[in-house]
Structure 1
Amino acid sequence: MPSSNPDSAAAQGLTEDVAVVRAAVEAVDGRVVLAAHSYGGVPATWAAAESDRVAELVLLAAFALDPGMSMTEWMGGDFPPSWIHSPDGLAVKAGDAEESVFSGVDPVLAAEAVKRLNWQGMRAFTEKLGAAPAGLPTTYVVATRDPALPPAVQEQWAARAAHRVRIASGHSPHLSHAGEVADVLAAAVARAASGGR
């Protein structure tokens, strides 16, 4: 995503992320099951609202904001105290990623994932969600042991989804419980292929 970059000054924002997701969806020949994790739920939601190719949206412990809200507003105007701000003030990153973002993930895999974390541009947090799809089937995967995004909040968002799945994982179920997530995605693809909900 353009909002993620090893150079804090080059990290862009939500609108650029939306454009990249939309382009990826449009590049697929046929219908798409669009899956997103954490912050990725925000650009994915917006991109899905602007495409007729998305058959289902799958949110993995993801932010399911309402249109007109930003990540910063949802967080109450500030970042968690453990987060690191870039010296130029243009980006942030989670300072406790192994304990929060990658909790419950195999330590070797978690260490590799942490090495790949970049700065995330401030505009990814301050720009407001421009749109959400109306009537699009959504699956929400609640990570019931998530220390980063409270499971109670995930349950509230999941209550609005057509399909809800609970996985006893930390914030990254696709890394710690890959088989269960693969099953969720396979079910979404099967529904999309059959035209069902």
Structure 2
Amino acid sequence: MNPTVVLVHGAMHTPWIFDPLRERLTSRGIASRAVQLPSSNPDSAAAQGLTEDVAVVRAEIEAVDGPVVLAAHSYGGVPATWAAAEEGRVAELVYIAAFALEPGVSMMEWMGGDFPPTWIHSPDGLAVKAGDAEQSIFSGVEPALTAEAVKRLNWQGLRAFTEKLGAAPVGVPLTYFVATEDPALPPAVQEQWAARAAHTVRVPSGHSPHLSHTDEITTLLTQAVARAQK
């Protein structure tokens, strides 16, 4: 059974963000799926939390026949880490400039207890959104694609940041894609997490390498799929 790549987007995103990457994977004969995390929603009151995100990622993995290469971007690394700890068919966990937190730690704790000053809080107080996405999230991405991506950003539920990571996988090979010019997630922190990975790739990318360096991410995932076939 050929491995399937399951893609987990970051905070505020939708699966659309992976369309260019999935097109390239398809051209290489690699099947892929992309989840919609319930913590990201255009309605701030409907945006949910980490617990619901983990359930959705687990369901997506369970829907696949055969092994899974689980690849996550940014915040998506948190629910992906937890899901990989509970789903035995994950052959490899790939972090794309993603958070690889320790169990028992929340995003809010990692952020020092507060959101970046440029972030916007929803009027109902239930969700947040990055106010400087062009510079922080999409640096280095082609301008027209950046504009479309910003237009599609959702509210991100607060519980995605306050709920603690419940578990991390043991015995699952890790790969880390370090974005060495990332203004949103410090490259030095990415390097610390990458030190635990079996495979590390470094590219001079901003925070969204799946958009700015799509070919490099495609190659990385192709290699992970090849390893999962052995």
Q: Indicate yes or no: 2:187 matched with 1:151.
A: yes
Letter matched to residue 17 of structure 1: D
Give the TM-score taking structure 2 as reference length: 0.84
The aligned residue for residue 106 of structure 1 is 142
The aligned residue for residue 118 of structure 1 is 154
Q: Distance in 2 between matches of 1:101 and 1:114?
A: 9
RMSD (Å), alpha carbons: 0.4
Task: Give CA deviations for 1:150-193 in whole Å, capped at 9, x if unaligned.
Answer: 00000000001111000110000000000000000000000000
Q: Indicate yes or no: 2:91 matched with 1:51.
A: no
Give the TM-score taking structure 1 as reference length: 0.98
Q: Indicate yes or no: 2:172 matched with 1:136.
A: yes
SS in 1 for 2:202: strand
Q: Indicate yes or no: 2:106 matched with 1:93.
A: no
Q: Distance in 2 between matches of 1:188 and 1:168?
A: 21
Structure 1 moving runs of 4+ over 6 Å = none
Letter matched to residue 147 of structure 2: A
Q: Among 173, 177, 199, which residue is 1:163 paired with?
A: 199
Task: Give CA deviations for 1:29-57 in whole Å, capped at 9, x if unaligned.
Answer: 00000000000000000000000010000
Aligned residue runs from structure 1 range 10-89, under 5 A: 10-89=46-125
Q: Distance in 2 between matches of 1:118 and 1:99?
A: 17
Letter matched to residue 220 of structure 2: V
Deviation at 1:74, TM superposition (A): 0.2
Deviation at 1:135, TM superposition (A): 1.4
Task: Give CA deviations for 1:111-131 in whole Å, capped at 9, x if unaligned.
Answer: 111111100000000000000
Task: Give CA deviations for 1:70-100 in whole Å, capped at 9, x if unaligned.
Answer: 0000000000000000011100011000101
Letter matched to residue 183 of structure 1: T
Gaps of 5+ in 2: 1-36
Q: Distance in 2 between matches of 1:70 and 1:53?
A: 26
How many residues are treated as equivalent by the alignment?
194
Q: Distance in 2 between matches of 1:167 and 1:85?
A: 32
SS in 2 for 1:142: strand
Letter matched to residue 99 of structure 1: Q
Gaps of 5+ in 1: none
